[in-house]
Structure 1
Amino acid sequence: MKRRIHLTSAIVLLTAVIAGCSDSGSSGKNAGAAGAERPPSPVSVVAMKKAEHPLTSLLPGRADAFQTADIRPRVSGVIKQIAFKEGSEVNEGDLLYKIEDDTYRAEVAQAQASLAKAEASVPTAQSNLARYERLVNSGATQIEYENAKVTLLQAQADVAQAKAALNAAEINLALTDIKAPFEGVTSVSTFSIGNVVTANQTDKLTTLRRLDPIYIDLTESSANLLRLREAITAGRVNQPGGQIADIRLTMEDGTQYPIIGKLDMSEMAVSETTGTFSIRAVFDNPDNLILPGMYVRASVTVGKENGYLIPQRAATRNARGELTAKFVNAQNVVETRVFEQSSVSGNNWLVADGIGDGDKLIVDGFQWIGDGATVAPVEATVDENGFVVEAPKAPEAAPAAKP
């Protein structure tokens, strides 16, 4: 009887030991699984705030000279002198070319002689007319009086004709000096000293360009123009004075042109082939940094609109071309928002709907996380260019208190 009791006790004890080992192993596995879970990924976020921001358009453009003139001779002759250095700046009225003027000086002298001859006949005709006027009723006939009057008129007409011929000869003589019509920069001379040129020839002697100020010809889509007008009409965009404001340039090498330009004119017609219209801006160009033909990109401020700024680095486009960005909700879970309408404001996208004040936009770290992921948001700031994210530095730990 005692033996059976001892055997039963041993079986119960063994069962308890096995159960204990099983529970211990299960607890160990659960602890290991819990220890393997990854902590939420840190992401940099920016709190959204609605405000009025400039509305800009990024437009391609080409530089064009403010004034351009192809220099051609207006009289014929042989080039005697080239008075400018090719590619140099000249002032208005500076001599560019000198044409042999001996023939034109002779024509002036001949015209002067003809004028003197014509003027010499006027006093005689005046005396005859006065004499016939006194004698018209005492011996001179009316016909003789009328003939004397005609003779005087012819003499005066000859003087006027001689003066006109002299004026033309003097003009042709002056045109042997080919001068700059305005200040600018010359191009290569296509003719040399000794070459014969003709009046109003097809071939130009050189080209003169005025580079300060300088024009920038921009191209804008007519669809964007219609959207802008609709937004202005709806009151979403404020355009002070109804005019385009500042225009800023980015050069071919990516540098910013330091001078702000202004609108000069806009074409009141749309191209039938490209669906675009032209805008011309004018910029001061004192150092000739911009040269005709250069490609530039212009940021045109067309007005102001209330909305939220999304840095370009924090946004992407979906398959339909719509703007998307990732946000962190109140539960620190990632969600993607789609914006059907967006505009450009500097280096940012400007949206008016789909965001509320205080919403947290992910600006860094969103490339490796998907929707539904739990994250650890870290407050950050974006610089004025919209490119660099500057996370605030963690405060230094206070030194431990001494016992």
Structure 2
Amino acid sequence: MPTFRSLLTILLVAIALAPAAPSARAQQQGGERPPMPVTVVTLQASDVTLTSTLPGRVTASGVAEVRPQVSGIVTERLFEEGKPVEQGAPLYRIDAASYEAAKAAAEASLAQAQAQFRAADREKTRQEELRQRNVTSQQVLDDAVAAVDAATAAVKVAEAQVLAATIDLERTTITAPISGTVGLSQTTQGALVTAGQASALTVIRKLDPVYVDVTQSAAEILQWRRSGQHLAEDAGTRIALRLADGGTYEHEGVLAAAEPHVNETTGVIVLRLEFPNPEQFLLPGMYVQVELPQAVVRDAVLAPQEGVTRDRRGRPVAMVVNAENQIETRELTVERDLGNQWVVTDGLAPGDRIIVAGLQKVSPGMTVLPEERAAADAAAPAN
């Protein structure tokens, strides 16, 4: 029969061995960890148009500097500064007294020339009748015909003088050569102006549409054409405009023209872009940036930037989950960035599942539990 001391010893050994039993049982069952959850994005291929941001300044599509074509004293300004004017609208009026007198003198000279013509014509008719009756000589008739011709020429000279005087008189009212927005007046009532003076009286600018002239390197133009595009045929290409405050202009523009010449010093080509400006929001001289198409990448893959890292050599790499839910490392060829994505031309294929969250906890060859990122979270980078 066991003693009390032997029973106590058996009880203590049983208590010491009890906690070790579950651990041993777990080891016998394998003890493998469950797959690590990661967030992935399934990639799709598409044609991507690459753009380059080019600086430029707004210019008016039409500019007319108003100058007087006759000399005189300005008697009246007929427009409101900074307001639209139509072509042919009166802008200034110059004292026309001397030009009215010049026109009256020209009209009097015309009347005198016409009277002399009529007299010469009657004399010619009389001499022709006398010549038919052999009463006068042929020489007298020839002189009468010459007098008519001279009188006819004198009438034409007088008519030209009347026309010139009329034009000068009309030019005493200075009109708008184009439709547009008139600027500030550079002269005042009572000022003396001269024909062909160097300084303009005012400037009219056509502000709808407006032009934006930018420069692009010839190498980028070649790349654009190699992608199947031609600048001369791209009248329908829509171009975005970014303003100086960082905002985007609400109207898109088109490529209006390209200078058929490369600057030998800088190697650039001047491109002229046309933008509608119905609200006259864009003003000449304003600094802007143009998002100009540069090339088209066919069947490119857009990879989220948070899913692309760099290896020790600085090469772009990404971790992809294959069909067996195992991780593979891919070395990428990145064309450039496009917003919050990379344009990848090699290394990724449509249907690949790229890891965008959980990169720090996984390694190549590991089995993971992929979960597709929700569309609502696609715009925000993953932590």
Q: Percent identity?
A: 34
Q: 1:46 aligns with which of 41, 44, 47?
A: 41
Q: State the partner residue of 1:202.
A: 198
Shift of 1:135: 2.1
Matched, 1:191 2:183: no
On the 8 A contact 1:238/1:305 being kept in 2, the answer is no
Tell me the distance in 2 between the aligned counterparts of 1:318 and 1:309: 20
Task: Check whether the contact 1:87–1:185 (CA below 8 A) recurs between aligned residues.
Answer: yes
1:167-204 deviation per Cα after TM superposition (whole angstroms, max 9, x unaligned): 00110111111111121112221111111111011111
Does the aligned pair in 2 maintain the 1:327–1:359 contact within 8 Å? no
Which amino acid in 1 is paired with 2:205? R
Which amino acid in 2 is paired with 1:147? D
Asked if 2 retains the 8 angstrom alpha-carbon contact of 1:184 and 1:208, the reply is yes
> Alignment partner for residue 333 of structure 2, among 336, 339, 360?
339
Deviation at 1:305, TM superposition (A): 2.8
1:277-326 CA-partner distances (Å, limit 9, x unpaired)? 1211212110011111222222334657322123567668999998x463
Q: Is the 8 A contact 2:241 2:288 kept in 1?
A: yes
Shift of 1:265: 0.8
| More displaced stretch, 109-118 vs 133-142 | 133-142
SS of 1:277's partner is strand
CA contact (8 A) 1:250 1:296 kept: yes
Q: Give the Cα–Cα distance (whole angstroms) in 2 for the partners of residues 174 and 273 of structure 1.
A: 49
Q: Deviations over 1:102-134 (max 9, x none)?
A: 111111111111111111111110111111122
1:171 has 2:167 as partner? yes
Structure-2 residue corresponding to 1:308: 301
The counterpart of 2:373, out of the listed 376, 380, 399, is 380
Shift of residue 214, structure 1, vs aligned partner: 1.0
Matches within 5 A, 1:168-247: 168-232=164-228, 245-247=237-239
1:353 aligns to 2:346 (yes or no): yes
The 5 A counterparts of 1:60-75 are 60-75=55-70
Paired with 2:192 and 2:249, the residues of 1 have a C-alpha distance of 45
In structure 2, what is the Cα distance between the partners aligned to 1:376 and 1:115? 104
- 1:256 is matched by which residue type in structure 2? T
SS in 1 for 2:126: helix
**Which amino acid is the alignment partner of residue 104 of structure 1?**
Y
Shift of 1:220: 1.7
Equivalent position of 1:3 in the other structure = none
Q: In the aligned structure 2, how far is the partner of 1:319 from the partner of 1:261?
A: 44
Provide the aligned C-alpha RMSD in A. Answer: 3.9
TM-score of the pair, normalised by structure 2:
0.79
Aligned counterparts of 1:383 and 1:299: Cα–Cα separation in 2: 27
Give the distance between the partners of 1:320 and 1:136, measured in 2 at CA: 115
The equivalences for 1:18-57 within 5 A come to: 42-43=38-39, 45-57=40-52
Equivalent residue for 2:243? 251
Query: Alignment partner for residue 105 of structure 1, among 95, 100, 105?
Result: 100
- Aligned residue for 2:87, secondary structure, equals coil
- Residue segments in structure 2 that go unaligned for 5+ positions in a row: 1-8
Native 8 Å contact 1:382 1:390 kept in 2: no
C-alpha contact (below 8 Å) 2:74/2:93 kept by paired residues: yes
C-alpha distance in 1, partners of 2:214/2:127? Answer: 77
Shift of 1:360: 2.7
Please state whether the residue corresponding to 2:227 is helix, strand or coil: helix
**Against the structure 1 CA distance between its residues 163 and 243, is the aligned structure 2 distance closer, same or farther, given a 3 Å change threshold?**
closer
In the TM superposition, residue 88 of structure 1 has moved relative to its aligned partner by: 1.6
Q: Secondary structure at the match of 2:256?
A: strand
The whole-number CA distance in structure 2 between the counterparts of 1:318 and 1:193 is 76
Q: Report which stretch shifted further, 250-259 or 203-212.
A: 250-259
Paired letter, 2:129: R
- Give the SS at the match of 1:352: strand
Secondary structure of the corresponding residue to residue 178 of structure 1: strand
CA contact (8 A) 1:47 1:360 kept: yes
Residue 91 of structure 2, aligned match among 82, 91, 96 = 96
1:136 partner SS: helix
Amino acid at match of 1:220: Q
Unaligned runs of 5+ in 1: 1-12, 392-403
- Alignment of 1:124 with 2:119, yes or no, is yes
CA contact (8 A) 1:92 1:181 kept: yes
1:254 CA displacement: 2.2
Tell me how far apart the structure 2 counterparts of residues 318 and 182 of structure 1 sit (CA, whole Å): 63
Report the 3-state secondary structure (helix = DSSP H, G, I; strand = E; otherwise coil) of the residue aligned with 2:346.
coil
**Contact 2:320–2:353 (CA under 8 A) maintained in structure 1:** yes
Question: How do 1:287-326 and structure 2 match up within 5 A?
Answer: 287-301=279-293, 305-311=298-304, 324=316, 326=318
Give yes or no for contact 1:56–1:344 (8 Å, CA) kept in 2: no
Q: Does 1:76 align with 2:71?
A: yes
CA distance in 2, matches of 1:283, 1:354: 40
Residue aligning to 1:159: 155
Distance 1:110 1:97, change over 3 A: same
Kept in 2, the 8 Å contact 1:299–1:346? The answer is no
TM-score (norm 1): 0.75
| Cα separation, 2, equivalents of 1:238 and 1:205 | 43
Equivalences, count: 357
* Counterpart residue type for residue 91 of structure 1: E
* Alpha-carbon distance change, 183 to 369 in structure 1, aligned in 2, over 3 angstroms: farther
Do the aligned partners of 1:73 and 1:200 also contact (CA within 8 Å) in 2? yes
